[in-house]
Chains A and B, each alone.
Chain A
Amino acid sequence: MAFFEVQDIVKFFGGLAAVNGVSFSVDEGQIVGLIGPNGSGKTTIFNLINGYFPLNKGEIWFDGETISGLKTHQICRRGIGRTFQVVKPLKRMTVLDNVIASAFLRHRSRSDAVGWAEETIEFCGLTHFKDKIAKSLPIASRKRLEITRALATNPKLILLDETAAGLNPYELEEAIALIKKIRDSGITIIIVEHIMKVIMTISDRIIAINHGRLIHEGTPTEVASDPEVIKAYFGEDYRA
Chain B
Amino acid sequence: MIRPLAATLALALGYFGYEAWLDAGGARKLAGIGVPAPKGHYELRVAFPPEGFHVTRMQAIGRLIEVKGQSVFLMDVEPQDLRAIARNYWVVGVARWKGL
- A, B: real partners: no
CB within 8 Å of A: which residues of B?
Answer: none
